[in-house]
Chains A and B, each alone.
Chain A
Amino acid sequence: MTLYAVIFYVLAAVILVATLLAITRRNLVHAVVYLIISFFGTAMVYYLLGAPFLAALEVIIYAGAIMVLFLFIIMMLRVEKMAERPFSLGQLLPPVFLGLVFLELVGLLAFTDPGGRVVLEAATASPRTFGRFLFQRYWLAVEIVSFLLLIVLIGALFLGRASGRRRPEGTEGDS
């Protein structure tokens, strides 16, 4: 077992434990902070698998921008401690069974497929190579995605306006 393999398994354990803790937290802020740990681990997995540029983007966009956005929204919402009603056993059994079947199938596919036993060779795509590839092959997709981001910006502004429907007319200053 090489050093890379040890690093990968430790990272995988950290990611899974942090995500498991995140999805079971009652407090939303704690959940978001655990998820930030999980995303940092994912960034290191990207780096290990030869994508340093994507690792940087993962830290900047996922662990930075998106999670901070979540934190802001959680602070705005004044979430009361609501009691999460647990599911009853009859409700819980079918999805748990189906989830176990799903996991078993994924494991079976991953371990019996001869393609899954191929050991990954360490290789790195430098940001320069990656950027050149992206803008030569997929420049149209990049343009479409940037256009989508513009649309989303307008949409989020539109949705986030103070609608004032619940308040009486004329008390708000915005147009």
Chain B
Amino acid sequence: MIVPYGHVLMLAGMLFALGVVCTVARRNLVMILLGVEIMLNAAGIAFVAAALRWQRLEGQAFVLFIMAIAAAEVSVGLALIIRAYRRTGSVDEDTYDLLKW
């Protein structure tokens, strides 16, 4: 007997909301990537809780894939940030306005 399933979902939802806030409100490219990581993490908590709720291992398998996707996303994202930083010398997202008119 741990906790009701809904409480774990509440934790995952609040963590996801914090990740959204970090992604949308911060102006630093590195912080935006961190927000995406927080959101993926929240999704993982929800998956593991669902795996325990229905006593099926599929939820845990999906968390494994989420981790692989997160590692892939963050490495490509950071390489892109490095490349953009070499171009412009800044990681402020307002610097990148080349496509605005």
**A residues in contact (CB < 8 Å) with B:** 2, 4-5, 8-9, 12, 15-16, 19-20, 22-23, 28, 31-32, 35, 38-39, 42, 45-46, 48-51, 53-54, 57-58, 61-62, 65-66, 69-70, 73-74, 76-77, 79, 82, 84-85, 87, 95, 99, 102-103, 106-107, 109-111, 113, 115-123, 125, 129-130, 133-134, 137-138, 141, 145, 148-149, 152-153, 155-156, 159-160, 162-163, 165-166
Contacts and interface: CB of A to CB of B under 8 A. Distances in A.
B34 A35 contact: yes
17 contacts: A23-B31, A31-B34, A39-B41, A50-B52, A54-B60, A54-B63, A69-B74, A73-B82, A82-B28, A110-B10, A115-B53, A116-B6, A117-B6, A118-B4, A119-B4, A145-B69, A163-B86
Interface in B1-26: 1-11, 13-15, 17-22, 24-26
Nearest to A57: B67
Interface residues of B, number: 69
A4 B4 CA distance: 11
Nearest to A28: B30
Q: Which of A42, A61, A73, A82 has the most CB of B within 10 A?
A: A73
B60 A4 contact: no
Interface of B (DSSP majority class): helix
B49 A107 contact: no
Contact of A99 (B7, B20, B52, B53): B20
Chain A residues touching B, majority SS: helix
Interface of B: 1-11, 13-15, 17-22, 24-28, 30-31, 33-35, 37-38, 41, 44-45, 48-49, 51-53, 55, 57-58, 60-61, 63-65, 67-72, 74-76, 78-83, 85-87, 90-92
Nearest to B85: A77
Given A5-B3, A77-B30, A69 B18 contact: no
Given A110-B13, A160-B82, A28 B28 contact: yes
B53 A118 contact: yes
B37 A19 contact: no
A23 B37 CA distance: 12
A15 B11 contact: yes
Query: Closest 9 CB pairs between A and B?
Result: A116-B6, A110-B6, A159-B79, A106-B13, A23-B22, A152-B72, A156-B79, A4-B2, A120-B2
